[in-house]
Chain A
Amino acid sequence: MNKHVSWTASETETSEDVIRLTDLRRRFGETAALDGVSLSVQRGEILGIIGRSGAGKSTLIRCLNGLERPDSGKIEIDGREITGLTEASLQPLRRKIGMIFQHFNLLSAKTVEENVALPLKIEGWPKAKRLARAAELLELVGLSGKAKAYPSELSGGQKQRVGIARALAASPALLLSDEATSALDPETTRSILALLKDINSKLGLTILLITHEMEVVRNIADRVTVLDAGRIVEEGPVWQVFSRPQTETTKSLLSGIRPQLPLNIAERLSPSGEGDAIVAIDIAGLAAAGPFLRSLSAAFPNDSRLVHGGVDHIREQPVGRFFVAVSAASVSNLVSFAERLGAQVEVLGHVADHA
Protein backbone atom coordinates (compact mmCIF):
# COMPACT_ATOMS: atom_id res chain seq x y z
CA MET A 1 0.00 0.00 0.00
CA ASN A 2 1.20 3.52 -0.67
CA LYS A 3 2.25 5.83 2.05
CA HIS A 4 -0.81 7.93 1.72
CA VAL A 5 -2.19 10.63 3.92
CA SER A 6 -5.77 11.54 3.25
CA TRP A 7 -7.61 14.45 4.75
CA THR A 8 -10.98 13.76 3.27
CA ALA A 9 -12.83 11.71 5.85
CA SER A 10 -15.65 10.54 3.62
CA GLU A 11 -15.56 10.23 -0.12
CA THR A 12 -18.25 12.29 -1.79
CA GLU A 13 -21.01 10.71 -3.79
CA THR A 14 -19.67 9.19 -6.97
CA SER A 15 -22.13 10.77 -9.39
CA GLU A 16 -20.46 14.14 -8.93
CA ASP A 17 -17.00 12.87 -9.82
CA VAL A 18 -15.84 14.16 -13.18
CA ILE A 19 -12.65 12.15 -12.99
CA ARG A 20 -12.11 8.90 -11.17
CA LEU A 21 -8.79 7.10 -11.35
CA THR A 22 -8.26 3.69 -9.83
CA ASP A 23 -4.80 2.25 -9.31
CA LEU A 24 -3.27 3.78 -12.42
CA ARG A 25 0.11 2.39 -13.40
CA ARG A 26 2.47 3.29 -16.20
CA ARG A 27 6.11 2.36 -16.63
CA PHE A 28 8.69 3.76 -19.01
CA GLY A 29 11.38 1.11 -19.13
CA GLU A 30 12.73 0.74 -15.61
CA THR A 31 11.07 3.79 -14.08
CA ALA A 32 7.48 3.84 -12.92
CA ALA A 33 5.94 7.16 -13.99
CA LEU A 34 2.68 6.21 -12.29
CA ASP A 35 2.82 3.67 -9.51
CA GLY A 36 -0.74 3.04 -8.42
CA VAL A 37 -2.48 6.41 -8.52
CA SER A 38 -6.10 6.63 -7.38
CA LEU A 39 -7.92 9.92 -7.15
CA SER A 40 -11.14 11.63 -7.98
CA VAL A 41 -12.07 15.14 -9.00
CA GLN A 42 -15.51 16.52 -8.23
CA ARG A 43 -17.58 18.62 -10.57
CA GLY A 44 -16.75 22.31 -10.32
CA GLU A 45 -13.64 21.98 -8.20
CA ILE A 46 -10.07 22.97 -8.97
CA LEU A 47 -7.63 20.22 -8.14
CA GLY A 48 -3.94 20.99 -8.14
CA ILE A 49 -1.50 18.17 -8.67
CA ILE A 50 1.95 19.15 -7.58
CA GLY A 51 5.25 17.38 -7.71
CA ARG A 52 8.84 17.79 -8.74
CA SER A 53 9.77 17.22 -12.35
CA GLY A 54 9.73 13.51 -13.03
CA ALA A 55 7.10 12.83 -10.39
CA GLY A 56 4.67 11.57 -13.03
CA LYS A 57 2.46 14.64 -13.33
CA SER A 58 2.63 14.92 -17.10
CA THR A 59 1.98 11.23 -17.61
CA LEU A 60 -1.00 11.47 -15.28
CA ILE A 61 -2.61 14.42 -17.04
CA ARG A 62 -1.97 12.93 -20.47
CA CYS A 63 -3.69 9.71 -19.41
CA LEU A 64 -6.86 11.67 -18.73
CA ASN A 65 -7.51 12.46 -22.37
CA GLY A 66 -5.94 9.32 -23.71
CA LEU A 67 -2.81 10.93 -25.12
CA GLU A 68 -0.99 8.41 -22.96
CA ARG A 69 -2.23 4.94 -22.17
CA PRO A 70 -1.71 3.43 -18.72
CA ASP A 71 -0.34 -0.10 -18.37
CA SER A 72 -3.11 -0.92 -15.93
CA GLY A 73 -5.78 0.73 -13.85
CA LYS A 74 -9.05 2.42 -14.58
CA ILE A 75 -9.81 5.94 -15.84
CA GLU A 76 -13.38 7.15 -15.69
CA ILE A 77 -14.36 10.51 -17.13
CA ASP A 78 -17.92 11.57 -16.34
CA GLY A 79 -18.65 8.02 -15.30
CA ARG A 80 -17.41 6.59 -18.56
CA GLU A 81 -14.46 4.25 -18.60
CA ILE A 82 -11.97 5.33 -21.26
CA THR A 83 -9.12 2.93 -20.66
CA GLY A 84 -10.03 0.44 -23.35
CA LEU A 85 -11.20 2.88 -26.01
CA THR A 86 -9.69 2.99 -29.47
CA GLU A 87 -8.09 6.16 -30.79
CA ALA A 88 -11.15 6.79 -32.97
CA SER A 89 -13.63 6.55 -30.10
CA LEU A 90 -11.39 8.70 -27.89
CA GLN A 91 -11.59 11.57 -30.39
CA PRO A 92 -15.18 12.69 -29.71
CA LEU A 93 -14.49 12.35 -25.99
CA ARG A 94 -11.43 14.60 -26.16
CA ARG A 95 -13.58 17.35 -27.64
CA LYS A 96 -15.24 17.64 -24.23
CA ILE A 97 -11.92 17.96 -22.41
CA GLY A 98 -10.08 21.22 -22.89
CA MET A 99 -6.33 21.35 -22.43
CA ILE A 100 -3.83 24.18 -22.04
CA PHE A 101 -0.08 23.84 -22.24
CA GLN A 102 3.11 25.30 -20.85
CA HIS A 103 4.26 26.43 -24.29
CA PHE A 104 0.74 27.39 -25.39
CA ASN A 105 0.95 25.25 -28.57
CA LEU A 106 -0.85 27.74 -30.76
CA LEU A 107 -0.70 27.16 -34.50
CA SER A 108 1.61 29.82 -35.91
CA ALA A 109 0.06 29.74 -39.38
CA LYS A 110 -3.43 30.54 -38.08
CA THR A 111 -4.77 33.78 -36.71
CA VAL A 112 -5.94 34.04 -33.13
CA GLU A 113 -9.59 33.55 -34.09
CA GLU A 114 -8.75 30.59 -36.33
CA ASN A 115 -6.85 29.02 -33.45
CA VAL A 116 -9.78 29.46 -31.10
CA ALA A 117 -12.24 28.17 -33.72
CA LEU A 118 -10.19 25.08 -34.57
CA PRO A 119 -11.83 22.72 -32.04
CA LEU A 120 -15.19 23.76 -33.52
CA LYS A 121 -13.95 23.18 -37.05
CA ILE A 122 -13.00 19.68 -35.92
CA GLU A 123 -16.52 19.28 -34.54
CA GLY A 124 -17.89 20.31 -37.94
CA TRP A 125 -19.37 23.72 -37.12
CA PRO A 126 -20.03 26.03 -40.10
CA LYS A 127 -17.50 28.82 -40.47
CA ALA A 128 -19.70 31.80 -39.54
CA LYS A 129 -20.92 30.08 -36.40
CA ARG A 130 -17.50 29.06 -35.20
CA LEU A 131 -16.03 32.51 -35.77
CA ALA A 132 -18.90 34.03 -33.81
CA ARG A 133 -18.19 31.62 -30.96
CA ALA A 134 -14.47 32.45 -31.17
CA ALA A 135 -15.31 36.14 -30.83
CA GLU A 136 -17.36 35.37 -27.69
CA LEU A 137 -14.49 33.47 -26.15
CA LEU A 138 -11.92 36.10 -27.03
CA GLU A 139 -14.08 38.58 -25.23
CA LEU A 140 -14.23 36.28 -22.21
CA VAL A 141 -10.42 36.15 -22.04
CA GLY A 142 -10.07 39.87 -22.76
CA LEU A 143 -8.53 39.68 -26.23
CA SER A 144 -11.32 40.93 -28.48
CA GLY A 145 -9.01 43.26 -30.38
CA LYS A 146 -6.58 40.52 -31.35
CA ALA A 147 -8.85 38.25 -33.40
CA LYS A 148 -6.97 38.82 -36.66
CA ALA A 149 -3.49 38.84 -35.15
CA TYR A 150 -1.08 35.93 -35.46
CA PRO A 151 0.22 34.28 -32.27
CA SER A 152 3.74 35.56 -32.95
CA GLU A 153 2.46 39.10 -32.43
CA LEU A 154 1.26 38.34 -28.89
CA SER A 155 2.98 38.32 -25.50
CA GLY A 156 3.25 35.11 -23.47
CA GLY A 157 0.27 35.98 -21.30
CA GLN A 158 -1.84 36.83 -24.33
CA LYS A 159 -0.85 33.56 -25.98
CA GLN A 160 -2.00 31.64 -22.94
CA ARG A 161 -5.29 33.56 -22.98
CA VAL A 162 -5.77 32.41 -26.56
CA GLY A 163 -4.89 28.89 -25.39
CA ILE A 164 -7.58 29.13 -22.72
CA ALA A 165 -10.15 30.49 -25.19
CA ARG A 166 -9.32 27.63 -27.55
CA ALA A 167 -9.60 25.06 -24.77
CA LEU A 168 -13.04 26.40 -23.87
CA ALA A 169 -14.35 26.66 -27.44
CA ALA A 170 -16.13 23.33 -27.50
CA SER A 171 -17.70 23.95 -24.04
CA PRO A 172 -15.78 21.22 -22.25
CA ALA A 173 -16.82 19.82 -18.90
CA LEU A 174 -13.21 19.58 -17.80
CA LEU A 175 -10.12 21.68 -18.31
CA LEU A 176 -6.66 20.16 -18.03
CA SER A 177 -3.83 22.56 -17.40
CA ASP A 178 -0.33 21.26 -18.06
CA GLU A 179 2.06 23.68 -16.33
CA ALA A 180 0.12 26.48 -17.99
CA THR A 181 1.86 29.28 -16.12
CA SER A 182 5.38 27.85 -15.86
CA ALA A 183 6.66 29.84 -18.82
CA LEU A 184 5.17 33.12 -17.61
CA ASP A 185 6.47 35.84 -15.29
CA PRO A 186 4.89 36.15 -11.81
CA GLU A 187 2.58 39.02 -12.71
CA THR A 188 1.27 37.34 -15.85
CA THR A 189 0.93 34.10 -13.90
CA ARG A 190 -1.35 35.84 -11.42
CA SER A 191 -3.54 37.28 -14.15
CA ILE A 192 -3.83 33.91 -15.91
CA LEU A 193 -4.69 32.20 -12.62
CA ALA A 194 -7.29 34.86 -11.90
CA LEU A 195 -8.79 34.20 -15.31
CA LEU A 196 -8.93 30.46 -14.66
CA LYS A 197 -10.52 31.05 -11.26
CA ASP A 198 -13.03 33.39 -12.85
CA ILE A 199 -13.93 30.84 -15.52
CA ASN A 200 -14.22 28.17 -12.86
CA SER A 201 -16.80 30.16 -10.93
CA LYS A 202 -18.58 31.65 -13.95
CA LEU A 203 -18.94 28.45 -15.96
CA GLY A 204 -18.69 25.91 -13.15
CA LEU A 205 -15.84 24.33 -15.06
CA THR A 206 -13.88 21.57 -13.38
CA ILE A 207 -10.15 22.25 -13.60
CA LEU A 208 -7.30 19.86 -13.03
CA LEU A 209 -3.95 21.54 -13.09
CA ILE A 210 -0.49 20.14 -12.74
CA THR A 211 2.34 22.33 -11.64
CA HIS A 212 5.60 22.34 -9.76
CA GLU A 213 4.84 25.76 -8.29
CA MET A 214 3.13 25.81 -4.89
CA GLU A 215 2.16 29.41 -5.56
CA VAL A 216 -0.19 28.24 -8.32
CA VAL A 217 -1.88 25.70 -6.09
CA ARG A 218 -2.10 28.23 -3.27
CA ASN A 219 -3.74 30.80 -5.51
CA ILE A 220 -6.50 28.84 -7.15
CA ALA A 221 -6.78 25.20 -6.14
CA ASP A 222 -9.46 23.92 -3.78
CA ARG A 223 -7.69 20.66 -3.17
CA VAL A 224 -4.14 19.55 -3.72
CA THR A 225 -2.59 16.19 -4.47
CA VAL A 226 1.14 15.77 -3.97
CA LEU A 227 2.79 13.34 -6.32
CA ASP A 228 6.22 11.87 -5.75
CA ALA A 229 7.84 9.13 -7.81
CA GLY A 230 4.52 8.14 -9.33
CA ARG A 231 2.67 7.90 -6.03
CA ILE A 232 0.27 10.16 -4.21
CA VAL A 233 1.99 11.00 -0.95
CA GLU A 234 -0.48 13.53 0.36
CA GLU A 235 -3.81 15.07 -0.53
CA GLY A 236 -6.49 17.27 0.91
CA PRO A 237 -7.88 20.81 0.97
CA VAL A 238 -5.09 23.23 0.17
CA TRP A 239 -5.23 25.09 3.49
CA GLN A 240 -4.97 21.86 5.44
CA VAL A 241 -2.05 20.48 3.48
CA PHE A 242 -0.34 23.87 3.70
CA SER A 243 -0.78 24.10 7.44
CA ARG A 244 0.14 20.52 8.21
CA PRO A 245 2.33 18.98 5.53
CA GLN A 246 2.91 15.37 6.46
CA THR A 247 5.69 14.33 4.14
CA GLU A 248 9.16 15.61 3.35
CA THR A 249 8.20 16.04 -0.32
CA THR A 250 5.37 18.37 0.56
CA LYS A 251 7.46 20.25 3.10
CA SER A 252 10.19 20.87 0.57
CA LEU A 253 7.71 21.94 -2.12
CA LEU A 254 6.21 24.32 0.41
CA SER A 255 9.50 25.72 1.61
CA GLY A 256 9.49 28.69 -0.73
CA ILE A 257 6.04 29.82 0.24
CA ARG A 258 5.70 29.19 4.00
CA PRO A 259 7.62 31.10 6.66
CA GLN A 260 10.94 29.41 7.32
CA LEU A 261 13.14 29.67 10.38
CA PRO A 262 15.56 32.54 9.62
CA LEU A 263 18.90 31.17 8.51
CA ASN A 264 20.97 32.90 11.22
CA ILE A 265 18.92 31.12 13.87
CA ALA A 266 18.73 27.82 12.02
CA GLU A 267 22.53 27.75 11.85
CA ARG A 268 22.89 28.03 15.61
CA LEU A 269 20.29 25.38 16.36
CA SER A 270 21.55 22.47 18.43
CA PRO A 271 19.55 19.44 19.48
CA SER A 272 20.31 19.50 23.19
CA GLY A 273 19.30 21.58 26.15
CA GLU A 274 21.41 24.76 26.25
CA GLY A 275 19.51 28.06 26.00
CA ASP A 276 16.07 28.86 24.61
CA ALA A 277 14.12 26.30 22.66
CA ILE A 278 12.83 27.16 19.21
CA VAL A 279 9.36 25.83 18.58
CA ALA A 280 7.53 25.74 15.24
CA ILE A 281 3.79 26.16 15.59
CA ASP A 282 1.36 25.46 12.75
CA ILE A 283 -2.20 26.43 13.21
CA ALA A 284 -5.04 26.61 10.72
CA GLY A 285 -8.76 26.94 10.27
CA LEU A 286 -10.95 27.71 13.28
CA ALA A 287 -8.06 27.48 15.73
CA ALA A 288 -6.12 30.11 13.80
CA ALA A 289 -9.12 32.40 13.65
CA GLY A 290 -9.03 32.83 17.44
CA PRO A 291 -6.62 35.09 19.32
CA PHE A 292 -3.96 32.41 19.38
CA LEU A 293 -0.86 34.57 19.79
CA ARG A 294 -2.52 36.63 22.51
CA SER A 295 -3.46 33.52 24.48
CA LEU A 296 0.06 32.21 24.09
CA SER A 297 1.77 35.37 25.30
CA ALA A 298 -0.74 35.70 28.14
CA ALA A 299 0.08 32.19 29.31
CA PHE A 300 3.85 32.63 28.99
CA PRO A 301 4.30 36.36 29.55
CA ASN A 302 7.96 36.37 30.50
CA ASP A 303 9.66 33.54 28.75
CA SER A 304 8.28 33.29 25.20
CA ARG A 305 8.84 35.54 22.26
CA LEU A 306 7.87 35.44 18.61
CA VAL A 307 10.91 34.96 16.36
CA HIS A 308 9.30 34.77 12.94
CA GLY A 309 6.06 33.87 11.22
CA GLY A 310 2.69 35.12 10.17
CA VAL A 311 -0.85 34.30 9.12
CA ASP A 312 -1.77 33.64 5.52
CA HIS A 313 -5.21 33.11 4.04
CA ILE A 314 -5.92 30.27 1.67
CA ARG A 315 -9.43 29.81 0.32
CA GLU A 316 -10.65 32.08 3.13
CA GLN A 317 -9.05 29.85 5.73
CA PRO A 318 -6.43 31.39 7.98
CA VAL A 319 -3.19 29.43 8.02
CA GLY A 320 -0.59 30.47 10.58
CA ARG A 321 2.99 29.42 11.07
CA PHE A 322 5.08 30.82 13.89
CA PHE A 323 8.51 30.27 15.29
CA VAL A 324 8.59 30.96 19.02
CA ALA A 325 11.58 31.03 21.31
CA VAL A 326 10.81 29.78 24.79
CA SER A 327 12.96 29.13 27.89
CA ALA A 328 14.01 25.53 28.28
CA ALA A 329 11.99 25.21 31.46
CA SER A 330 8.69 26.12 29.81
CA VAL A 331 8.98 24.13 26.58
CA SER A 332 6.77 21.22 27.54
CA ASN A 333 4.15 23.51 29.06
CA LEU A 334 4.06 25.64 25.93
CA VAL A 335 3.81 22.61 23.67
CA SER A 336 0.85 21.16 25.50
CA PHE A 337 -0.78 24.58 25.78
CA ALA A 338 -0.51 25.20 22.03
CA GLU A 339 -1.71 21.73 21.23
CA ARG A 340 -4.76 22.28 23.38
CA LEU A 341 -5.54 25.31 21.21
CA GLY A 342 -5.44 23.08 18.13
CA ALA A 343 -1.94 23.81 16.88
CA GLN A 344 0.65 21.40 15.62
CA VAL A 345 3.89 21.94 17.46
CA GLU A 346 7.42 20.83 16.78
CA VAL A 347 10.44 21.55 18.96
CA LEU A 348 13.21 22.29 16.49
CA GLY A 349 16.11 22.56 18.93
CA HIS A 350 17.86 25.04 21.16
CA VAL A 351 19.92 28.13 20.62
CA ALA A 352 22.46 29.44 23.08
CA ASP A 353 21.70 32.89 24.50
CA HIS A 354 22.44 35.86 22.35
CA ALA A 355 26.01 36.99 22.81
Chain B
Amino acid sequence: MSPIMLELLMQSLWETILMTAASGVISLVFGLPLGLALVITSRGGIAENLWLNGVLGAVINAFRSVPFIILLVALIPVTRLIVGTSIGTWAAIVPLSIAATPYYARIAEVSLREVDRGLIEAVRAMGGNRWTIIREVLIPEALPGIVAGFTVTIVTLIGASAMAGAIGAGGLGDLAIRYGYQRFETAVMVAVVAVLIVLVCGIQWFGDRVVERLDHRN
Protein backbone atom coordinates (compact mmCIF):
# COMPACT_ATOMS: atom_id res chain seq x y z
CA MET B 1 0.00 0.00 0.00
CA SER B 2 1.35 3.43 -0.90
CA PRO B 3 2.18 6.01 1.75
CA ILE B 4 -0.69 8.12 0.44
CA MET B 5 -3.13 5.27 0.90
CA LEU B 6 -1.74 4.68 4.38
CA GLU B 7 -2.25 8.31 5.24
CA LEU B 8 -5.80 8.07 3.87
CA LEU B 9 -6.38 5.02 6.02
CA MET B 10 -5.15 6.80 9.13
CA GLN B 11 -7.32 9.81 8.40
CA SER B 12 -10.36 7.60 7.84
CA LEU B 13 -9.68 5.78 11.08
CA TRP B 14 -9.54 9.09 12.88
CA GLU B 15 -12.82 10.19 11.29
CA THR B 16 -14.49 6.92 12.31
CA ILE B 17 -13.21 7.24 15.87
CA LEU B 18 -14.34 10.86 16.04
CA MET B 19 -17.83 10.12 14.75
CA THR B 20 -18.24 7.06 16.95
CA ALA B 21 -16.89 8.67 20.11
CA ALA B 22 -18.83 11.90 19.74
CA SER B 23 -22.15 10.27 18.92
CA GLY B 24 -21.47 7.58 21.55
CA VAL B 25 -21.04 10.17 24.28
CA ILE B 26 -24.11 12.06 23.14
CA SER B 27 -26.22 8.88 23.05
CA LEU B 28 -25.02 8.07 26.57
CA VAL B 29 -25.81 11.52 27.90
CA PHE B 30 -29.33 11.51 26.45
CA GLY B 31 -30.08 7.81 26.14
CA LEU B 32 -29.40 6.86 29.76
CA PRO B 33 -31.80 9.42 31.25
CA LEU B 34 -34.32 8.42 28.61
CA GLY B 35 -33.98 4.75 29.53
CA LEU B 36 -34.27 5.71 33.20
CA ALA B 37 -37.39 7.73 32.45
CA LEU B 38 -38.92 4.72 30.67
CA VAL B 39 -38.31 2.52 33.69
CA ILE B 40 -39.44 4.85 36.46
CA THR B 41 -42.59 5.99 34.65
CA SER B 42 -43.69 2.45 33.78
CA ARG B 43 -46.41 0.61 35.71
CA GLY B 44 -45.27 0.06 39.27
CA GLY B 45 -42.25 2.31 38.74
CA ILE B 46 -41.08 4.80 41.34
CA ALA B 47 -42.55 7.71 39.34
CA GLU B 48 -45.37 5.93 37.55
CA ASN B 49 -46.76 8.03 34.72
CA LEU B 50 -48.28 5.85 32.04
CA TRP B 51 -49.12 8.74 29.75
CA LEU B 52 -45.54 10.02 29.68
CA ASN B 53 -44.29 6.45 29.40
CA GLY B 54 -46.49 5.88 26.37
CA VAL B 55 -45.35 9.08 24.64
CA LEU B 56 -41.66 8.39 25.28
CA GLY B 57 -42.02 4.82 24.08
CA ALA B 58 -43.78 5.91 20.88
CA VAL B 59 -41.16 8.57 20.04
CA ILE B 60 -38.33 6.12 20.63
CA ASN B 61 -40.00 3.49 18.49
CA ALA B 62 -40.60 6.01 15.72
CA PHE B 63 -36.93 6.97 15.53
CA ARG B 64 -35.82 3.39 15.81
CA SER B 65 -38.01 2.25 12.93
CA VAL B 66 -36.52 4.67 10.38
CA PRO B 67 -33.61 3.07 8.46
CA PHE B 68 -30.40 4.94 9.24
CA ILE B 69 -29.65 5.88 5.64
CA ILE B 70 -33.08 7.57 5.43
CA LEU B 71 -32.57 9.30 8.78
CA LEU B 72 -29.23 10.57 7.51
CA VAL B 73 -30.91 12.35 4.62
CA ALA B 74 -34.12 13.32 6.36
CA LEU B 75 -32.24 15.04 9.17
CA ILE B 76 -30.23 17.28 6.83
CA PRO B 77 -32.18 20.44 7.80
CA VAL B 78 -31.70 19.68 11.49
CA THR B 79 -28.00 19.00 10.96
CA ARG B 80 -27.59 22.29 9.12
CA LEU B 81 -29.34 24.09 11.96
CA ILE B 82 -27.04 22.57 14.61
CA VAL B 83 -23.64 22.28 12.86
CA GLY B 84 -24.07 24.94 10.18
CA THR B 85 -23.41 22.47 7.36
CA SER B 86 -24.89 19.19 6.24
CA ILE B 87 -21.64 17.78 4.86
CA GLY B 88 -18.62 16.28 6.60
CA THR B 89 -17.62 14.36 9.70
CA TRP B 90 -19.15 16.79 12.20
CA ALA B 91 -22.38 16.87 10.26
CA ALA B 92 -22.62 13.08 10.43
CA ILE B 93 -22.45 13.17 14.22
CA VAL B 94 -25.95 14.68 14.39
CA PRO B 95 -27.86 11.86 12.66
CA LEU B 96 -25.61 9.24 14.25
CA SER B 97 -26.42 10.60 17.72
CA ILE B 98 -30.10 10.88 16.96
CA ALA B 99 -30.17 7.26 15.80
CA ALA B 100 -28.04 5.93 18.66
CA THR B 101 -29.83 7.74 21.50
CA PRO B 102 -33.15 5.84 21.29
CA TYR B 103 -31.21 2.65 20.60
CA TYR B 104 -29.16 3.08 23.74
CA ALA B 105 -32.22 4.20 25.72
CA ARG B 106 -33.81 0.80 25.05
CA ILE B 107 -30.66 -1.07 26.03
CA ALA B 108 -30.31 0.93 29.25
CA GLU B 109 -34.01 0.39 29.94
CA VAL B 110 -33.55 -3.39 29.88
CA SER B 111 -30.66 -3.24 32.37
CA LEU B 112 -32.47 -0.84 34.70
CA ARG B 113 -35.66 -2.89 34.60
CA GLU B 114 -33.79 -5.96 35.79
CA VAL B 115 -32.75 -4.35 39.07
CA ASP B 116 -34.31 -6.40 41.89
CA ARG B 117 -37.44 -4.65 43.17
CA GLY B 118 -36.55 -5.82 46.67
CA LEU B 119 -33.57 -3.45 46.63
CA ILE B 120 -35.80 -0.52 45.75
CA GLU B 121 -38.15 -1.53 48.53
CA ALA B 122 -35.27 -1.79 51.01
CA VAL B 123 -34.11 1.75 50.24
CA ARG B 124 -37.67 3.05 50.39
CA ALA B 125 -37.99 1.35 53.77
CA MET B 126 -34.92 3.18 55.04
CA GLY B 127 -36.46 6.50 54.10
CA GLY B 128 -34.89 7.10 50.69
CA ASN B 129 -36.65 9.31 48.17
CA ARG B 130 -36.82 8.76 44.41
CA TRP B 131 -33.57 10.50 43.76
CA THR B 132 -31.84 8.31 46.35
CA ILE B 133 -33.29 5.23 44.70
CA ILE B 134 -32.00 6.33 41.28
CA ARG B 135 -28.56 7.29 42.58
CA GLU B 136 -27.96 4.49 45.09
CA VAL B 137 -29.93 1.61 43.61
CA LEU B 138 -30.98 1.83 39.97
CA ILE B 139 -27.81 3.24 38.40
CA PRO B 140 -25.17 1.39 40.47
CA GLU B 141 -27.00 -1.94 40.36
CA ALA B 142 -27.61 -1.70 36.62
CA LEU B 143 -24.14 -0.33 35.89
CA PRO B 144 -22.63 -3.56 34.51
CA GLY B 145 -25.52 -3.81 32.04
CA ILE B 146 -25.37 -0.10 31.28
CA VAL B 147 -21.67 -0.38 30.40
CA ALA B 148 -22.10 -3.61 28.44
CA GLY B 149 -24.94 -1.98 26.52
CA PHE B 150 -22.79 1.05 25.82
CA THR B 151 -20.13 -1.22 24.32
CA VAL B 152 -22.75 -2.73 22.03
CA THR B 153 -23.90 0.76 21.05
CA ILE B 154 -20.36 1.88 20.22
CA VAL B 155 -19.80 -1.16 18.01
CA THR B 156 -23.13 -0.55 16.29
CA LEU B 157 -22.12 3.08 15.74
CA ILE B 158 -18.90 2.00 14.02
CA GLY B 159 -21.04 0.04 11.58
CA ALA B 160 -23.52 2.86 11.09
CA SER B 161 -20.78 5.40 10.53
CA ALA B 162 -19.87 3.56 7.32
CA MET B 163 -23.08 4.93 5.83
CA ALA B 164 -22.20 8.46 6.83
CA GLY B 165 -19.95 8.52 3.78
CA ALA B 166 -23.16 9.26 1.88
CA ILE B 167 -23.02 12.81 3.22
CA GLY B 168 -19.29 13.16 2.80
CA ALA B 169 -18.37 12.35 6.37
CA GLY B 170 -15.47 10.10 5.46
CA GLY B 171 -14.49 7.31 7.80
CA LEU B 172 -13.33 3.75 7.25
CA GLY B 173 -16.55 2.53 5.67
CA ASP B 174 -16.46 5.32 3.13
CA LEU B 175 -12.84 4.50 2.32
CA ALA B 176 -13.70 0.87 1.79
CA ILE B 177 -16.54 1.70 -0.58
CA ARG B 178 -14.78 4.34 -2.65
CA TYR B 179 -11.34 2.76 -2.94
CA GLY B 180 -11.79 -0.88 -2.08
CA TYR B 181 -15.08 -1.46 -3.89
CA GLN B 182 -15.49 1.18 -6.58
CA ARG B 183 -11.79 1.25 -7.60
CA PHE B 184 -11.15 -2.44 -7.08
CA GLU B 185 -8.27 -1.83 -4.66
CA THR B 186 -8.48 -5.09 -2.80
CA ALA B 187 -5.55 -4.20 -0.58
CA VAL B 188 -7.45 -1.17 0.74
CA MET B 189 -10.55 -3.24 1.33
CA VAL B 190 -8.57 -5.86 3.24
CA ALA B 191 -6.74 -3.21 5.25
CA VAL B 192 -9.97 -1.44 6.20
CA VAL B 193 -11.66 -4.64 7.22
CA ALA B 194 -8.62 -5.63 9.29
CA VAL B 195 -8.54 -2.26 11.03
CA LEU B 196 -12.28 -2.50 11.75
CA ILE B 197 -11.89 -5.99 13.21
CA VAL B 198 -9.08 -4.84 15.48
CA LEU B 199 -11.04 -1.74 16.50
CA VAL B 200 -14.22 -3.66 17.32
CA CYS B 201 -12.34 -6.41 19.18
CA GLY B 202 -10.42 -3.81 21.17
CA ILE B 203 -13.54 -1.93 22.17
CA GLN B 204 -15.39 -5.12 23.09
CA TRP B 205 -12.43 -6.37 25.12
CA PHE B 206 -12.13 -3.09 26.97
CA GLY B 207 -15.88 -2.98 27.63
CA ASP B 208 -15.87 -6.53 28.96
CA ARG B 209 -12.99 -5.78 31.35
CA VAL B 210 -14.82 -2.74 32.72
CA VAL B 211 -18.00 -4.78 33.24
CA GLU B 212 -16.00 -7.47 34.99
CA ARG B 213 -14.62 -4.97 37.45
CA LEU B 214 -18.00 -3.39 38.11
CA ASP B 215 -20.03 -6.54 38.47
CA HIS B 216 -20.30 -7.77 42.07
CA ARG B 217 -23.64 -9.47 41.64
CA ASN B 218 -22.32 -13.00 41.88
Contacts and interface: CB of A to CB of B under 8 A. Distances in A.
B137 A107 contact: yes
Nearest to B123: A118
Contacts of A95: 126-127
Contacts of A93: 127
B129 interface: yes
Contact of A170 (B126, B140, B143): B126
A122 B217 contact: no
A350 to B, nearest CB: 53
Contacts of B214: 109
B136 A101 contact: no
Contacts of B119: 105, 107
Contacts of B129: 88, 91
B216 interface: yes
Interface string A158-172: 000000001100100
Given A107-B136, A108-B141, A108-B217, A99 B122 contact: yes
Contact of B125 (A94, A108, A121, A150): A94
Interface residues of B, number: 22
Given A109-B140, A150-B216, A67 B124 contact: yes
A175 to B, nearest CB: 11
Interface residues of A, number: 31
A105 B121 contact: yes
Contacts of B143: 109
Contacts of B118: 101, 103, 105
Contacts of A107: 119, 122-123, 136-137, 140-141
Contacts of A54: none
B128 interface: yes
A10 B136 CA distance: 46
B182 interface: no
Contacts of A105: 116, 118-119, 121-122
Contacts of B186: none
Interface in A225-247: none
A99 B141 contact: no
B218 interface: yes
B147 to A, nearest CB: 12
B126 A122 contact: yes
A119 B123 CA distance: 8
Interface string B139-183: 011010000000000000000000000000000000000000000
A48 interface: no
Given A105-B119, A107-B136, A109-B214, A119 B126 contact: yes
A166 B123 CA distance: 11
A92 interface: yes
A109 B127 contact: no
B127 A119 contact: yes
A151 B216 contact: yes
A152 B126 contact: no
A97 interface: yes
Contact of A67 (B121, B140, B141, B218): B121
A65 interface: yes
Contacts of B125: 65, 67, 94, 97, 99, 176
B126 A118 contact: yes
B85 interface: no
Given A107-B136, A107-B137, A99 B216 contact: no
A239 B103 CA distance: 62
Interface in B106-135: 116, 118-119, 121-129, 132
A151 B216 CA distance: 8
B127 A110 contact: no
A123 interface: yes
B25 to A, nearest CB: 23
Given A65-B125, A107-B137, A118-B126, 6 more contacts: A94-B125, A107-B123, A107-B136, A152-B216, A152-B218, A170-B126
14 contacts: A67-B121, A91-B127, A94-B125, A94-B127, A97-B125, A99-B125, A99-B126, A105-B116, A107-B140, A108-B141, A109-B140, A109-B216, A152-B216, A170-B127
Interface of B: 116, 118-119, 121-129, 132, 136-137, 140-141, 143, 214, 216-218
Shortest 9 CB-CB distances between A and B: which pairs? A95-B127, A105-B122, A109-B140, A94-B127, A150-B216, A99-B125, A119-B126, A105-B118, A108-B217
